[in-house]
Each structure stands twice: as structure tokens, then as C-alpha cells.
Chain A
Amino acid sequence: MSTDLLHIASSGVRAARVALDLTAQNIANAGTQGYIRRSLQLNEVASAGGYNRTGDLSFSGVRVDGIARNADAFRQAEVRRTGSDAARGATELSAYQNVEAALEHSGLYAAMAGFESALQQMTTDPVDPSLRAAALESSETLARTFNLASDALDTVAQSLHFAATDGVTQVNRLAGELGRVNLQLARSVPGTADHVSLLDQRDGLLGQISGYVGITTSFSANQTVEVRIGGSSGPHLVAGGAVSTLGTTAAADGTLSFTVGATAATLSAGSLAGQTQGLQCVRDSRNTLNVVAQNLIATVNGAQTSGVALDGSPGQPLLSGTGASDIAVVLASGSQLATAPAGAPAGSRDPANLAALRSALVSSDISGQIDALLFQISSATEGRRITSDALTTIAGASKLALDAQAGVNLDEEAVNLVRFQQAFQASSKAIQVASDLFDTLLAIR
């Protein structure tokens, strides 16, 4: 009988020791990213007697059944989904802000106003060499400003490409690790510390992948995970130990498309989707900028070639180029500006062709087009910011909800520490009682 008591008490001591270890582990990992609070599952060991011994009392103590992970699969999936959306929103917003800065900081609108006002100033005395030089310089400034805006857009596109390439590399690395974790999970025993930490790794990897691409996950009975890109019918990125490669190709206009294995994939969330949308915005802005530059070249050159220069020769084109990136001033001297109408003699002060150029600039509304481009990108950016703020708030809330449920609460662990210490002391006391009982029996004379 006393051996039974000794046995029960020692199982209690063992269980309390494991529980204290686990509590210490929880406290140690209170600040660890992705750590989910463990709890101990204990089971009573008791036999229900046997043949002809139905009334027997037979207690055998306690046994550690396993380690439970207090994770809510739904909340984890929500954190991944909303995190993916927020990453897409934030990346897209930063791309839009960069495009906005590229167009706005180039000073395109002010340069256009400067060019028009220099032309207006020239009406006071069209033969004044300094006014002519000023007008030519301001056209030079305008052309350079277009170049600058175009270069800045190129830089935005390059940084987006760089980030997207890095994102694809990261996704492939993470997917490879997830495949290995899947294989280990299939082999490990549920309820062991090893199994639980593999689950933590699995969830951490899923969270990291979902930051780059929107994924759909499905879990099998042995806790391995299948990852698809896009919706539930999208191509497999990870299935068990098999991993497909995410690939990307850039089109001529700079936009990106993606493949998983050999299948084309559409990304709807994650930073890679944000970079794709940002590159589309760069493409659209560049197209509009090129159209404005072409309009400017056509308008200015059209007016210029219908007049005569200061020396009476026919006017030559002022601007060359096919778009914003290569627009340039080709006239060498201000005297070549054709301010006088065709047929006017050399040195004519007749400003008729200058007036024609100014009214052509007004009627083709170049500055209105620049204004419209700036307005379009800035209002799009404002819209993206509101969306991104909302998505970030939603993602933060769902992450908090998961943390609140699955994270470590130090107060609770402090209580557990005291509770399991008492359990340990009580079981130790039971061992002492067993020993006393044994001594009492031996002392019978």
C-alpha cells in the first residue's frame, strides 16, 4: 500500500516539475515573436479493478498527457489574410507616394508657367536679345524638368523591381523551409515539445509568406499544410514536401507577371501584389507624361516653323524628342526664336508669331494637362492612403486578437508558478507520509 502511495506521490512530483518547467518556458518566451502559450495536459491514472475485484480501489497517480498549444486556427488565418492585405496596401501606397513625389518635386507645373511667362515677357520687345535668351533658357528648364520627372519615374520603377525580385526570392526560400517543416511534422509525435515547436515554425513561415503573397492554406490531419497562391483553386506553392518555384517576368512596359511552377498565377494580396500595382501606376503616369511632352513638342514646333527668326530666315523646330525622357532644346541661340510672322523682314519687331505660339499653348492646354496629371496621381494617392490606413488598422486588430488569446500573460504565469510549486510541495509531503507509514509498520514489535 505504501509503495502505491510513494508511486502516486512521485508521479505528482514529476508532473509538477514538468508544469513548472513549462511555466518557466512560457515566461522566458513572453516576448518571443510567434510564440504561442503552451499548457500542460494531465491525466489521472486509475484502473477500474479487474475480474472478481470490482470493489477494489486502485489509484496510480498522474501522467503527463501532452503539451497543448493554445492556438485558434481561425484567428491565425485572419491574421495571415488581413496581414497580406495590409502589406499590399502599404506597398501600393508607398509606390503611389513615390510616383507623386517624382512628378511633383520635378516642378513640372511651375516650369511650364515659367516658360509661358517668359514668352509673355518677350512681347514687350521681341528683338531684345536678353529676353530671347531668357525665353530659350526657360524652354531648356522645361525640357530638363520633363527629363527629370521621367528619370524619377524610372527610379521608382527600378526600386519596385528590386523589391519584387527580393520578395520572390524570399517566398521561394520560405516555401522551401515550409516543405521541410511539413516533412518533419509528418514524422513527429503529436503532443511532444518537438511537435509543438514545429507547429510554431509552420505558423511563423506561413505568416512570413503571407506578407509577400496572398495564400490559401489547408491543414491535413497530421498538421502538415498545403499552400496555394491566390484563391482555393490557385496553383500549389507547397503541398506536403513538394515545393513549386515562384517565378516572375517583367513586360516591356515594366509591369510584372508571376508563375508558380509552370502555371500563371494572379496575386491579389501581399507586398508583391502591391509592387505589381505600383508598377502599373508608374506605367500609366509615364504614358500620360509622354503624351503631354509630345503635345508640347508638336505645339511649340508647329508655331515655331510657321514664323521667321530674327535674321529673317524660316523658323526651325525648338524642341526635339519623342517623349518625356528625350525631350530637348535644339536651338542654339535665342535669336532663332521665330517671333515674327512668315514674310517679315530681318529684325522685325512684329510679335504676331509669338502671339500665335502663346495662344497655341493656351488652346492645347499643356499646363492644364500637367495639372490634371498631378491631380490624378495625388487624388489616387489620397485614396490609397485611406485604404491602407483601414487595412493596417484591421490587420493590427486581428493580430491583437490573436496575441490576446494565444500570447503569454505574465500574471497568469505567476499564479501558475505558485500553484505548481505548491503541488510539488504537497506531493513531496505525500512521499514523506508514505515513508512515515512504512516506518510505522516496521516499528511494530
Chain B
Amino acid sequence: MTTVSTSAFYDRVNLDISTLRSRAEALQASIGSGQRLTRSSDDPVGAARLRTLSRADTFSAIDLSIAARASSDLRLTDSALQSFAATTIRAQELATQAANGILTPAQRNGIAIELNQIGKELVRLANTRDSADNALFGGETTGDAYGFSPGGTLTYLGTATAGELPLGDGQSVVRGLTGPEVFEFDAGGGPTNLYTVIKTLADALGGVTPGVDPIQAARDAMGALETGLETIATQQTIVGTRLNWIDLNTERRTQMSELRAEEQADVGGTDLAEAMSRLQQTMTVLEASQASFARLSSLSLFEFLR
């Protein structure tokens, strides 16, 4: 005969009910926090995946701010290029007027004064600052992009390249344009720059350089300014393409982060419907065992022996 001792009965009921209770509590915790995993050892592989995903999220946030930075620098470059173009067009108008033979020397002198101002404005524009207060057209230099040598010639002080900014996942974008890319071009059989062209024209019109035909100088300058304007237009196209590239990357990053969020929810999130139904099931079993325990434990032979 198998006898079941009273203490064994209580112990077993205790074991069963406390197991059910702890299972219900674990389910409740997972529903309450929305997280399936409370510690890595709940699912080591899933936890490792979640770590990688959250690392990717961290880097994605940085990529986003870098892309915003690159984008704002390129927009600043774009607006500076527009100012360049407007200024150059004004210089072109003045050169066209000066090429007209009926102007008096005094009138040409007036044009020369305005051209000198335009030249200075171009230098100031070339030294525009970017969002981090560095020279927009200076490449990776920390100082001004352009300066004057002791002889009065305009000199480029920046570095040869503008430097690249990473956009994440191995993609990068060149952050801006260097001065020579915008400012310098070949005209009249040799390399020159916008400032030199305008300065030379102003000097010729103002009679600073003697023995030069001002009308011929104005005609030469018109051709050179045309080339300069074309260079600026080309660079505007390049800036537009780069902005487009950043937008493309941002779009891709958004899609990637959506995928990541989805995977995070899949791996680490609680399936509410499943968790709720399992909790309900556990609670039903728990209630049933509590009720049956209450009935069984009230059954004692001592109650009936009088």
C-alpha cells in the first residue's frame, strides 16, 4: 500500500502552486515591460542580436547628425555660389558697358571704382564661413581660404581637398568645394582667377596700368568672365548632386532603421496576444489548483470522528 504522508501532500501542493505563481509573475513582468528578455541568459542569441541592433542605432543617430551637417555646409556653399554668380554677372554688365567706345574716361573711371568694390566683395565671399566657423572654400584649413601676398596678389591658403564626411555603411560625401574649384579657371591661354580678371579690368579702365587699351581690356575680360560664370554653374550642379546623394542616403537610413525597429520588436518585444492568453491559461490552472487544494485540505478524518 502506498501511503501519502500529510506533509508530502502539503509540500507537493506548495511546489505546484509556487511554480504556477512564478510562471504567471514572469508573464506579467514581460507584459508590463513590453520586453521578452529581462536578462541576456533568457535568450543569449536574441540578446546578442539586440546588442548589435542597438549599436547600429547609436551609429545611425550619429550618421544622421553628420548628414545634417554635410547638408547644411553644402547648402551654404550653394548660396555662396549664387552670390558669386550674381556678382560675376554684375561684373559682366560693367565690362559690357566699358567695352562701349562712347564712354568718357571719367565714366570708365566710375566703372573701375565699382569693379574694384566687386573684386573686394568676391574675396569676402570666398572667405565665407561654414556652420563650424571654418572657411567654406578653404578645404580642411582652420584659417581664411584666401589672403593677399605682400605684392598684392590673391593667394589660396587652404588645402587641396575639401575632405569627406562618412554617411554610414561605408558611404561618404565630399563636404564642400575648395576655392580653386570655384574661383580659378583657364582663360586667355593661361590659368587665372575671377579676382585677377576683375582687378586687371579695373586697373585698365582706371588708367592705373598705362599703355593698355581699355576697350580691348573690357572685351578680353568679358570672355574670361563668361568662362568664370560657367565654372560657377558647373560647381552648382556638383553641389546639387551631392545634396541629392545625401538625401538618398538619409532615405536609405530611415528604411534601415525601420527594419531594425521591426527586428528589435520581433526579437525582444512581447507578443501581447500570446503572452495574455498564456497568462490567462496559467491563471486558470492556478485558480483550479488553489480551489482543489482548499477542498482537499479541509478533508480530515478528525472532522468526522466524534
The interface of chain A, by Cβ under 8 A from chain B, is 30-31, 37, 96-97, 100-101, 104, 109-110, 113-114, 116-117, 120-121, 123-125, 127-128, 347-351, 367, 371, 374-375, 377-379, 381-382, 385, 396, 399-400, 403-412, 414-415, 417-418
Contacts and interface: CB of A to CB of B under 8 A. Distances in A.
Contacts of B163: 349-351
Nearest to A355: B166
B58 interface: yes
B44 A350 contact: no
B39 A371 contact: no
Nearest to B68: A124
A396 B15 contact: yes
B155 interface: no
Interface stretch (B134-142, B180-188, B228-236, B282-290): B134-142
12 contacts: A97-B39, A100-B39, A113-B55, A124-B132, A348-B142, A349-B159, A382-B42, A399-B11, A400-B15, A403-B7, A403-B8, A404-B8
Interface size range on B against A: 35 or more
A404 B5 contact: yes
A396 B8 CA distance: 10
Contacts of B43: 382
B159 to A, nearest CB: 7
A411 B301 contact: yes
A296 to B, nearest CB: 16
Contact of A385 (B6, B11, B41): B41
Interface stretch (B46-54, B76-84, B105-113, B217-225): B46-54
A277 B301 CA distance: 50
Interface string B61-79: 1110110011000000000
Contact of A120 (B62, B141, B142, B300): B62
Contact of B51 (A109, A117, A411): A109
Contacts of A350: 140, 159, 163
Contact of B5 (A37, A349, A351): A37
B55 A101 contact: no
Residue from the set A347, A348, A382, A408 with the largest chain B CB neighbour count within 10 Å: A382
B148 interface: no
Interface of B: 2-8, 11-12, 15, 39-45, 47-48, 51-52, 54-55, 58-59, 61-63, 65-66, 69-70, 132, 134, 140-142, 159, 163, 165-166, 300-302, 305
Contact of B66 (A120, A385, A414): A120
A69 to B, nearest CB: 14
B174 to A, nearest CB: 13
B6 A409 contact: yes
Contacts of A127: 134, 142
Nearest to B65: A121
Contacts of A404: 2-5, 8
Residue from the set A110, A121, A349, A379 with the largest chain B CB neighbour count within 10 Å: A349
Contacts of A97: 39, 41
A382 B44 contact: yes
Contact of B48 (A110, A375, A381): A375
Contacts of B8: 400, 403-404, 407
Contact of A408 (B7, B12, B66): B7
Contacts of A411: 6, 300-301
Contacts of A123: 66, 165-166
Residue from the set A97, A367, A414 with the largest chain B CB neighbour count within 10 Å: A414
A224 to B, nearest CB: 27
Contacts of A407: 5-8
A382 B46 CA distance: 12
B305 A414 contact: yes
Given A37-B5, A124-B165, A411-B301, A374 B11 contact: no
A348 B140 contact: yes
Contacts of A124: 65-66, 69-70, 132, 165
Given A120-B166, A379-B41, A349 B141 contact: yes
A33 B199 CA distance: 107
Contacts of B40: 100, 104, 374-375, 377-378, 381
Contacts of A414: 300-302, 305
Residue from the set A30, A127, A407, A414 with the largest chain B CB neighbour count within 10 Å: A407
A367 B47 contact: no
B39 A101 contact: yes
B92 to A, nearest CB: 35
B140 A349 contact: yes
A104 B3 contact: no
B51 A30 contact: no
Contact of A116 (B7, B59, B132, B302): B59
A377 B70 CA distance: 42
A374 B51 contact: yes
The 10 lowest CB-CB distance pairs between A and B, nearest first, are A407-B5, A378-B40, A381-B41, A403-B8, A379-B44, A414-B301, A349-B140, A378-B44, A404-B8, A125-B132
A367 B51 CA distance: 10
Contacts of A109: 51, 55
Residue from the set A123, A348, A418 with the largest chain B CB neighbour count within 10 Å: A123
A89 B10 CA distance: 25
Given A381-B41, A415-B301, A403 B51 contact: no
A374 B41 CA distance: 9
A326 B148 CA distance: 54
B48 A410 contact: no
Given A348-B140, A412-B3, A414-B300, A113 B58 contact: yes
A208 to B, nearest CB: 18
B49 to A, nearest CB: 10
Given A113-B59, A378-B44, A404-B5, A371 B51 contact: yes
A371 B48 contact: yes
Residue from the set B7, B8, B66, B166 with the largest chain A CB neighbour count within 10 Å: B7
B5 A406 contact: yes
Given A117-B62, A124-B66, A349-B141, A409 B41 contact: no
A378 B41 contact: yes
B55 A378 contact: no
A103 to B, nearest CB: 9
A113 B59 CA distance: 8
Contacts of B142: 127, 347-349
Nearest to A347: B142
Contacts of B54: 110, 113
